[in-house]
Amino acid sequence: MTYIHKTISDLKHSSPAQAEFYQAVEEVLDSLEPILESSACYQQQAIIQRMVEPERQIMFRVPWMDDNGNIQVNKGYRVEFNSALGPYKGGLRFHPSVNASIIKFLGFEQIFKNALTGLAIGGGKGGANFDPKGRSDAEIMRFCQSFMSELYRHIGPTTDVPAGDIGVGAREIGYMFGQYKRLTGRYEGVLTGKSLLWGGSLVRKEATGYGAVYFADYMLADRGDSLKGKKCLVSGAGNVAIYAIEKLYQLGAVPVSCSDSRGALYHEKGIDLVLLKQLKEECSECLDKYLETHSDAKYVPVADYPEDGNAVWRFTAEAAFPCATQNELSETDAQALIANGCVVVSEGANMPSTAKAVDVFIEAKIAYGPGKAANAGGVATSQLEMAQNASMQSWTFEKVDERLKEIMKNIFDTANNTATEFGQPGNLVFGANIAGFKRVADAMIEQGIV
Ligand code: NDP
Ligand code: 2IT
């Protein structure tokens, strides 16, 4: 059994029943053989065994009272995965599906994503199995306050800096920041994604979606092509999807779809972004109402999705931006995309394509940007928010956007050049995994056995 296979097999024994976590680990480790062969030190230093084990995992009870006076209890998590490159950095997800496996897969991805940005940030992730849907503002506030009443003792501006993810946006960050400040008496950059009124950075809200689109454009530019005029499929209708759609329009592309947990929307003429933003503000699950304004659009409810995939990927387009959640794009979806002429896939979400779907993209040699490279613009801009907080400055929109573009270009170049260097030109999964791994592993070796 190879060193890599043994590590995965040991992991399945020590951390049972964590399918999403194994999926993320296997994808990274599968790329590492050439670098492990080229340098014996990684194996000697047990780097892989150390990397797959979080430095610290915090699990806690989150009790809160709902509007009817009933006591509710949720499970809270913060996984501080790796601090070789800087303070733990990564979002908080509030979604009923959250469990240890999901938080660990997200935290593991975050290590390599953050390394690829070239910035000084380690990897972490957290969240709770709390479902914000249908909850009042007061309930959200009480939940966030209870969550922070435990989390505050584990985080700090130079130790661990959480941000948003699914179900956590500016409102939740505000309530959590308020509680942190109340408990510690400190006003400091302990969270990113803050409101522009009190310490947030311009472009942070837009950064993940914009970044995934910039990344797609860099991949295409390298192939003598561009997004201009291309029909694009986008999934999701949250923070990442909305700003991916906005940037696609700005670059002259035509985003024709979006989706949520209830269904997929397709509009040949291009998604009406003003209406989409309005619908998402009015109600969290009413994409079908779009048809009241645009009768030429099409809505497919989840009940009518193909058995082996997601309706959003069965429409015809040249580009795809999965921006909803993990494993939302199956092998059959990937085959349908390729058959319909899709030439570029850029992942705004974390691990949205199943392992078999990724194989289809690699085999077809289309431009495929894996999440840990393509969606790194969000966390990179979070680090720019930290830099502004620490220096008590506020940069202009143009300055932050310029830095974001530069970072996305560097990530593309690093992943692309590394793929070529290690013998698989064009394979950005391979290039991103090796480049991210190398930066973290070398830092770990220099810092000794800790
Ligand atoms: P939001 O909560 O703003 O939006 C999530 C969107 O995805 C919603 O439209 C939601 O639909 C849909 N969705 C969530 N879960 C499911 C599901 N199980 N099935 C179908 N649709 C689903 O989250 P974000 O836009 O911030 O996050 C989207 C993705 O991007 C996630 O994978 C996240 O980890 C990743 N990401 C986010 C970053 C950020 O800065 N926010 C940075 C990097 C990656 P509904 O409302 O119906 O639930
Ligand atoms: O997955 C991610 O990179 C995020 N949710 C953003 C993390 C951050 O710290 O901004």
Report CA(239)–ligand 1 centroid distance (Å).
7
Question: Do 123 and 37 reside in the same domain of the chain?
Answer: yes
Angle at 142 between CA 140 and CA 146, to 5 degrees: 115
Question: Do 159 and 259 reside in the same domain of the chain?
Answer: no
Question: Do 228 and 151 reside in the same domain of the chain?
Answer: no
Q: Is the CB of 382 under 6 A from ligand 2?
A: yes
Predicted local confidence at residue 1, as pLDDT: 64
> Does residue 345 lie in a domain region?
yes
Question: Do 226 and 354 reside in the same domain of the chain?
Answer: yes
Dihedral (C-alpha) 431, 192, 135, 21: value to the nearest 10 degrees? 30
Report CA(184)–ligand 1 centroid distance (Å).
31
Q: CA 214 to CA 329: how far, in whole Å?
A: 21
Q: Is the CB of 348 under 6 A from ligand 2?
A: no
Q: Is the CB of 93 under 6 A from ligand 2?
A: no
- Among 351, 369, 387, the domain-final residue is 369
Predicted local confidence at residue 164, as pLDDT: 98
Which of ligand 2's atoms lies nearest the C-alpha of 89? 9
pLDDT band at 282 (very low <50, low <70, confident <90, very high): confident
The predicted-structure confidence for 136-175, as pLDDT tens digits, reads as follows 999 999 999 999 999 999 999 999 999 999 999 999 999 9
Question: Do 58 and 98 reside in the same domain of the chain?
Answer: yes
Which residue lies with its CA nearest to atom 3 of ligand 2? 379
Ligand index nearest the alpha carbon of residue 242? 1
Q: Is the CB of 199 under 6 A from ligand 1?
A: no
What whole-number percentage of the chain has pLDDT above 90?
96
> Does residue 386 lie in a domain region?
no
Q: Is the CB of 90 under 6 A from ligand 2?
A: yes
Q: Is the CB of 271 under 6 A from ligand 1?
A: no
- Among 369, 402, 436, the domain-final residue is 369
> Does residue 96 lie in a domain region?
yes
Q: What is the mean pLDDT of residues 27-53?
A: 95
Q: CA 376 to CA 412: how far, in whole Å?
A: 11
pLDDT band at 122 (very low <50, low <70, confident <90, very high): very high
Selection from 28, 14, 30 nearest residue 100 by Cα: 14
Predicted local confidence at residue 337, as pLDDT: 98
Query: Average model confidence (pLDDT) for the chain?
Result: 97
Angle at 161 between CA 245 and CA 122, to 5 degrees: 90
> Does residue 72 lie in a domain region?
yes
Model pTM above 0.85: yes
Domain count, the chain: 2
Q: CATH no. for residue 109?
A: 3.40.50.10860
Report CA(442)–ligand 1 centroid distance (Å).
33
> Does residue 354 lie in a domain region?
yes
Selection from 349, 348, 377, 395 nearest residue 200 by Cα: 395
Report CA(251)–ligand 1 centroid distance (Å).
23
pLDDT at 3 over 90: no
Question: Do 282 and 144 reside in the same domain of the chain?
Answer: no
Question: Do 309 and 231 reside in the same domain of the chain?
Answer: yes
> Does residue 242 lie in a domain region?
yes
> What contacts 83, CB < 8 A, 6 or more positions away?
55, 122
Predicted local confidence at residue 405, as pLDDT: 98
Residue 304 has, within 13 A of its CA and on its CB side, a CA count of 9
What whole-number percentage of the chain has pLDDT above 70?
100
> Does residue 27 lie in a domain region?
yes
Question: Do 47 and 160 reside in the same domain of the chain?
Answer: yes
From 98, 117, 166, the mutation candidate for ligand 1 (largest count of ligand atoms within 8 A of CB) is 166
* Domain residue limits at 282: 206-369
The predicted-structure confidence for 245-279, as pLDDT tens digits, reads as follows 999 999 999 999 999 999 999 999 999 999 999 99
Instruction: Indicate which residue of 125, 247, 280, 372 is catalytic.
Output: 125
Which residue lies with its CA nearest to atom 48 of ligand 1? 261
Q: Note whether 144 and 175 are within 8 A (CB).
A: yes
Question: Do 99 and 163 reside in the same domain of the chain?
Answer: yes
Question: Do 107 and 33 reside in the same domain of the chain?
Answer: yes
Q: CATH no. for residue 325?
A: 3.40.50.720
Report CA(78)–ligand 2 centroid distance (Å).
13
Predicted local confidence at residue 128, as pLDDT: 99
Which residue lies with its CA nearest to atom 35 of ligand 1? 349
Predicted local confidence at residue 23, as pLDDT: 98
Question: Do 277 and 169 reside in the same domain of the chain?
Answer: no
Question: Do 163 and 222 reside in the same domain of the chain?
Answer: no
> Does residue 355 lie in a domain region?
yes
Ligand index nearest the alpha carbon of residue 121? 2
Q: Is the CB of 164 under 6 A from ligand 1?
A: yes
Q: Radius of gyration over alpha carbons of the chain, in Å?
A: 21
- Among 122, 153, 188, the domain-final residue is 188
6 counts as catalytic: no
Q: Is the CB of 89 under 6 A from ligand 2?
A: yes
Which of ligand 1's atoms lies nearest the C-alpha of 376? 43
Predicted local confidence at residue 281, as pLDDT: 86
The predicted-structure confidence for 299-342, as pLDDT tens digits, reads as follows 999 999 999 999 999 999 999 999 999 999 999 999 999 999 99
Ligand index nearest the alpha carbon of residue 276? 1
Per the listing, tokens 């996305």 go with 408
Which residue lies with its CA nearest to atom 4 of ligand 2? 91
Given phi > 0 = left and psi -120 to 50 = alpha, else beta, which region is 339? alpha
Predicted local confidence at residue 15, as pLDDT: 97
Report CA(431)–ligand 2 centroid distance (Å).
21
